[in-house]
């Protein structure tokens, strides 16, 4: 369609526009210390994401039509609720009727667990408490993915290089061809070191460095540059990984 072609061309052009890229970088550098991502919720639960990434995930979920979404990192549960809501909408439009989202977190706080379970979208959600890279946890999630036709993965827990690389090695193989493994907070590599004084991650040790190492040995995945060009403002630059084979 002419409109779709125009969008694709505009996205490609914008993604290579130095002025737009510079303004976007300034936006990220200014808003991250201000806690901008903490200001948003999805259906009543804090989602701790930038609106641009929320919209990008909606587009991917609609395109991929997953019957299983795997998320590492739960926090307040907004992302789980969002994913479940998207699966509910997909089902209402003829997509997988019994699609589910599974969330893994090393510490699911009681009040967050209770709020998630009380939410109308909870019927599509399974929560697993434990380290996302512990063999028994990975095996549990893998067993859930075994019978799924279309699997989408989102990694958003501990942001150190080693942990994210271990998550990629554990969960990326579960992604179905044509679907995505989305690695959040790759933006850490592009920010000043002093932004994370109390965290074990920072420039040189973060999700983006893990993605770069992972891709060297896993050519079945590639960065979807069109997503970066479309969003410009995102916590996951070079983090939208599409499985191509």
Q: What confidence score (pLDDT) does residue 19 get?
A: 97
Q: What confidence score (pLDDT) does residue 99 get?
A: 98
What is the maximum alpha-carbon separation in the chain?
Answer: 51
Identify whether the C-beta of residue 106 lies closer than 8 Å to the C-beta of residue 73.
Answer: no
SS3 20: helix
Tell me the C-alpha distance between 114 and 163, whole Å: 28
Distances in Å between the Cα of 85 and the Cα atoms of 69, 112, 113, 216 are 12, 18, 17, 35
Give me the domain span that covers residue 129.
2-243
Tell me the C-alpha distance between 11 and 8, whole Å: 5
pLDDT tens per residue, the chain (245 residues)? 799 999 999 999 999 999 999 999 999 999 999 999 999 999 999 999 999 999 999 999 999 999 999 999 999 999 999 999 999 999 999 999 999 999 999 999 999 999 999 999 999 999 999 999 999 999 999 999 999 999 999 999 999 999 999 999 999 999 999 999 999 999 999 999 999 889 999 999 999 999 999 999 999 999 999 999 999 999 999 999 999 99
Distances in Å between the Cα of 105 and the Cα atoms of 26, 72, 134, 138, 194 are 32, 6, 11, 12, 27
Sign of CA dihedral 108, 237, 206, 34: negative
Q: How many CA atoms lie within 13 A of 36 on its CB side?
A: 13
Q: What confidence score (pLDDT) does residue 1 get?
A: 78
Q: Quote the number of domains for the chain.
A: 1
SS3 172: helix
Q: What confidence score (pLDDT) does residue 88 get?
A: 98
Tell me the C-alpha distance between 95 and 196, whole Å: 41
Tell me the C-alpha distance between 23 and 28, whole Å: 9
Token pair for residue 136? 């028994």
Q: What confidence score (pLDDT) does residue 92 get?
A: 98
CB neighbourhood size of 23 (10 A): 12
Domain harbouring 146, CATH code: 3.40.50.150
Sign of CA dihedral 161, 167, 173, 174: negative
Identify whether the C-beta of residue 110 lies closer than 8 Å to the C-beta of residue 72.
Answer: no
């Amino acid at each position: 369609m002419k409109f779709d072609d125009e969008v694709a061309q505009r996205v490609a052009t914008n993604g290579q526009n130095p002025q737009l890229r510079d303004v976007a970088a300034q936006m990220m550098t200014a808003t991250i210390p201000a806690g901008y991502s903490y200001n948003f919720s999805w259906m009543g639960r804090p989602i701790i994401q930038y609106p641009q990434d929320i919209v990008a995930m909606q587009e991917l979920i609609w395109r991929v039509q997953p019957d299983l979404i795997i998320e590492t990192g739960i926090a307040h549960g907004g992302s789980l609720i969002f994913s479940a809501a998207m699966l509910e909408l997909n089902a209402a439009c003829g997509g997988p009727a019994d699609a589910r989202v599974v969330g893994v977190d090393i510490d699911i706080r009681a009040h967050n667990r209770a709020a998630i379970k009380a939410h109308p979208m909870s019927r599509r959600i399974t929560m697993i408490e434990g380290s996302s890279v512990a063999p028994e946890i990975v095996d549990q999630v893998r067993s859930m993915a075994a019978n799924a036709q279309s699997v989408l993965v989102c990694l958003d827990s501990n942001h150190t290089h080693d942990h994210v690389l271990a998550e990629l090695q554990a969960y990326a193989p579960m992604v179905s061809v044509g679907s995505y493994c989305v690695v959040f907070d790759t933006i850490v590599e592009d920010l000043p070191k002093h932004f994370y004084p109390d965290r074990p991650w920072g420039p040189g040790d973060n999700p983006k460095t893990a993605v770069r190492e992972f891709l060297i040995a896993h050519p079945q995945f590639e960065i979807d540059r069109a997503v970066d060009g479309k969003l410009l403002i995102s916590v996951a630059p070079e983090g939208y990984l599409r499985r191509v084979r």
